[in-house]
Amino acid sequence: MKTYPEEEKRGLIVLILVFVGLALGIITAGYFYYRNYEKHYRAEVERQLSAIAELKVGELVQWRAERLSDAAIFYQNTAFSALAQRYFDDRGDAEAQAQLQTWLGLVQQHYQYDHIFLLDAQGVEQLTMPDDTTPVASILAQHVSELSQTKQVTIVDFYRDEFDQHIYLTLLVPILDTNDSNRVIGALAMRIDPERYLYPFISRWPTPSETAETLIIRRDGNDALFLNELKYQKNTALTLRIPLESKDTPAVKAALGQVGVVEGVDFLGVAELADVRAVPDSPWFLVARMDTAEVYAPLRARLWEMIVFFGTLLFGADAGVVLIWRQQRMRFYRQRYQAAEALRALSSRQEAILAAVPDIIMEVDHNKVYTWTNQPGLEFFGEDVIGKEASFYFEGKQDTYREVQSIFNGAENMIHIESWQRRKDGQKRLLSWCYRALKDEDGKVTGVLSSARDNTERVEAEQEIRALNANLEKRISERTAQLEASNKELEAFAYSVAHDLRSPLRAIDGFSRVILEDYADKLDAEGQRVLNIIRSNTQKMGHIITDLLELARVTRSEMQFSTLDMTMLVNSAYREVASAELQQGFSFSIAPLPQAYGDLILLRQVWSNLLSNAIKYTLPKSVRSIEVGAYTEASMNVYYVKDNGVGFAKYTHKLFGIFQRLHKAEEFEGAGVGLAIVQRIVARHRGHAWAKGKINQGATFYFSLPKKEAND
């Protein structure tokens, strides 16, 4: 009994220590939790910016392509050129003038051009639609004089008309002499008002935001010139310039060729986060930006929530210690048990925090120079590692360095290497390196991303190696779970967007049908034709949405691997996509195909898409043949579908991109998604898809899959 107060005092000391440990553990866990949340939140914001920028760039490319298609109606059109030449030779020819006005009027109204001018070889206006007194900007006359050299359709980029001070773009179509195709007798100027469609499209943002906006710019001398109006700054189009020396501005970074998510300040000095990229086949660069204050506003709110939450935990821990102290008459061994449990919980938290410490991550550019490393990399190699060649750190290990150089030659996608390297303090450590090639959209290696883990202790004790592997498996499992959760959110978002898009499309189609059925007697032929065009386009948009959902499904669906009889699968797919009547018009042959190891449903879709493509582009031929075969190349089986259809000659690198077409929509139906689905499915099987073709000599589509033993 005499020792009881002393034991109670020791128990109190233990409780105080436990409380301090818990407090440290809670604060540490809260810090790392917030840092991890901040990292993933920033990554999600960047993904959203990149997705919006990619969508905007794709639609701008499509818009430019559609305008060039409009110009193709008149380019090298002998009937139109002859009519224009007839009118140029005799300005009093009323019949020629009337026919020209009819042509120009239909195109101007149907394709919604602001004005269409018929110009002679000196750039002087001869006719205009609408027929008014709108003068021709002097810049168009300058470009008309250049057509005699190029003889090609030209897009006169954003310019300000000196007469009405309005901003326009103009398509210039050369009119060639019907007797001498090398002589330009005039030009057709199809003027576009960007206020009607282009500016509103660029300014639209898919989610509610106070500061988010999309900008397009181009390089103009030593400046980055803004081509559209800013959200909160007016009169900026073709007026606001930022010198290229201001390299901390995202617009300048875009003009200098930088691609991806960047941070910087706008011309007013406001910090912003942006995704910058070039618009292909144009002088434009796109900037999708948002003020960083708005980006981090939800993050600050989460920080206060965490402070309250972990403060509550600390308060609870303090209350627990007080409660235990008040229950000082509890048995001694129970107190020891509780203290031991608290210490074990603290130890578990500390081990989890230590396990989450990231590895060394480094990036090498195409010159094999280190351009970036994370904090562990700086701590290991020193602050001066940035800017040094990779070979400096492989001194005396040239065989190992040569293995890394195989990546730049495209021999491997990823290798594993272990090497002893000296830390900046002189200590030698065994690093396990993983190197992966960084490629651009054309598959060209632009750099190498490497990660390293210190495996020195593995040499000293096998037990520590097993613990390290267990830790690696845990991290992979956690990241996989995070990825699966992210994919579910993306799938829900895709279906929500599809539902929101389909509802107005169904309404447009339905009301158009009602008008055609109930008011047919009140509509003339042109009104009925226009309504039918509306219905056709809404139905086409519905098909595009369905194709996009299918593309999302094949990207995220869970794969079920099994050994597949590819010969049987091809025969089944052919009977599915070609009716018995259609099969009679084709010569179809299939060689024995090697078995494949993959997902039955997805690979059936690959064959169905390729065979449907072959049938569609072979139908115009009088003699039609389709051949399916395969061959072996290294560790891959290569399968192909060959046809004798209309073929193609260029832009093969765009075939497998979404919405990419090499033929006009009126020639062949389709939205340009089928081959993108093929490419995604083959990529998920660790394969590759490509194509070869010649105009009017057919095409061959290939895809490769790893052999069965390569998957084992």
Residue 705 pLDDT > 50: yes
Q: From the centroid of its chain, how far is CA 21?
A: 47
In this prediction, residues 605-611 reach a mean pLDDT of 91
| Least confident residue range of 81-90, 285-294, 426-435 | 426-435
Residue 493 pLDDT > 80: no
Residues 567 and 606 grouped into a single domain: yes
Contact 172, 189 (CB under 8 A): yes
pLDDT (tens digit, 9 = 90+) per residue, 253-265? 999 999 999 999 9
Q: Residue 370: pLDDT band by 50, 70, 90 thresholds?
A: confident
H or E stretch covering 173 = strand 167-176
| Least confident residue range of 20-34, 138-152, 206-220, 460-474 | 460-474
| 3 state SS of 338 | helix
Residue 203 to residue 206: CA distance in whole angstroms:
10
Domain boundary among 508, 525, 556: 556
In this prediction, residues 302-309 reach a mean pLDDT of 74
Which residues neighbour 481 within 8 Å (Cβ) at sequence distance 6 or greater? none
Exposed e or buried b per residue across 420-429, where buried means at least 16 C-beta atoms within 10 angstroms of its C-beta: ebeeeeeeee
Per-residue CA distances from 292 to 115, 184, 295, 297 (Å): 42, 53, 5, 8
Q: Which CATH number characterizes residue 687's domain?
A: 3.30.565.10
Residue 240 pLDDT > 80: yes
- Strands (E) located in 223-270: 223-226, 241-243, 260-265
Residues 88 and 177 grouped into a single domain: yes
Residue 198 lies in a domain: no
Residue 199 lies in a domain: no
Residue 393 pLDDT > 90: no
More confident residue, 244 or 330: 244
Residues 596 and 677 grouped into a single domain: yes
Q: Residue 4: pLDDT band by 50, 70, 90 thresholds?
A: very low
How confident is the model at residue 58, as a pLDDT? 93
Q: Residue 650: pLDDT band by 50, 70, 90 thresholds?
A: low
Return the structure tokens found at 195.
């206020």
Give the number of domains in the chain.
Answer: 6
Residues 62 and 100 grouped into a single domain: no
Residue 62 lies in a domain: yes
pLDDT (tens digit, 9 = 90+) per residue, 96-113? 899 998 888 888 888 779
Residue 140 pLDDT > 70: yes
How confident is the model at residue 112, as a pLDDT? 78
Contact 116, 128 (CB under 8 A): yes
Residue 493 lies in a domain: yes
How confident is the model at residue 385, as a pLDDT? 85
Return the structure tokens found at 44.
């999600």
Residue 173 pLDDT > 60: yes
How confident is the model at residue 700, as a pLDDT? 92
Sheet containing strand 260-265, edge to edge, reads 241-243, 223-226, 213-220, 285-291, 271-278, 260-265
Domain boundary among 266, 295, 324: 295
Residue 275 to residue 264: CA distance in whole angstroms:
11
Q: Spell out the SS3 assignment of 498-514.
A: HHHHHHHHHHHHHHHHH
* 251: nearest Cα among 233, 278, 231: 278
More confident residue, 629 or 445: 629
Residues 575 and 539 grouped into a single domain: no
Residues 695 and 562 grouped into a single domain: yes
Residues 565 and 677 grouped into a single domain: yes
pLDDT (tens digit, 9 = 90+) per residue, 445-492? 888 888 888 888 777 676 555 665 677 777 777 776 666 666 566 555
Q: Residue 550: pLDDT band by 50, 70, 90 thresholds?
A: low
In this prediction, residues 549-571 reach a mean pLDDT of 78
Half-sphere exposure (Cβ direction) of 146: Cα atoms closer than 13 Å: 11
Q: Residue 31: pLDDT band by 50, 70, 90 thresholds?
A: confident
Residues 93 and 221 grouped into a single domain: no
Q: Which CATH number characterizes residue 111's domain?
A: 3.30.450.20
Residues 545 and 473 grouped into a single domain: yes
pLDDT (tens digit, 9 = 90+) per residue, 427-452? 888 888 888 888 877 778 888 888 88
SS3 content of the chain, % helix, strand, coil (to 5): 50, 20, 30
More confident residue, 15 or 525: 525
| Least confident residue range of 121-125, 449-453, 473-477, 592-596 | 473-477
Domain boundary among 456, 477, 494: 456
Which residues neighbour 638 within 8 Å (Cβ) at sequence distance 6 or greater? 630, 631, 632, 702, 703, 704
Residue 155 lies in a domain: yes
Residue 584 to residue 352: CA distance in whole angstroms:
67
Residue 200 lies in a domain: no
Q: What is the CA radius of gyration of the chain?
A: 33
How confident is the model at residue 542, as a pLDDT? 61
Residues 561 and 702 grouped into a single domain: yes
pLDDT (tens digit, 9 = 90+) per residue, 7-30? 666 666 776 777 677 777 778 877
Residues 124 and 178 grouped into a single domain: yes
Contact 644, 618 (CB under 8 A): yes
Residue 131 lies in a domain: yes
How confident is the model at residue 353, as a pLDDT? 45
Residue 199 to residue 221: CA distance in whole angstroms:
24
Q: Residue 83: pLDDT band by 50, 70, 90 thresholds?
A: very high
Residue 396 pLDDT > 60: no
* 638: nearest Cα among 573, 685, 586: 685
Say whether the peptide bond before residue 620 is cis (omega within 30 degrees of 0). Answer: no
How confident is the model at residue 365, as a pLDDT? 83
pLDDT above 90 covers a percentage of the chain that reads: 32
| 3 state SS of 101 | helix
Contact 442, 358 (CB under 8 A): no
In this prediction, residues 577-583 reach a mean pLDDT of 87
Q: Which CATH number characterizes residue 251's domain?
A: 3.30.450
Mean pLDDT of the chain: 81
How confident is the model at residue 2, as a pLDDT? 43
pLDDT (tens digit, 9 = 90+) per residue, 33-46? 767 877 888 888 88
Residues 379 and 408 grouped into a single domain: yes
How confident is the model at residue 330, as a pLDDT? 67
Q: Which domain holds residue 22?
A: 4-67+296-355
Residue 521 lies in a domain: yes
Q: From the centroid of its chain, how far is CA 631?
A: 33
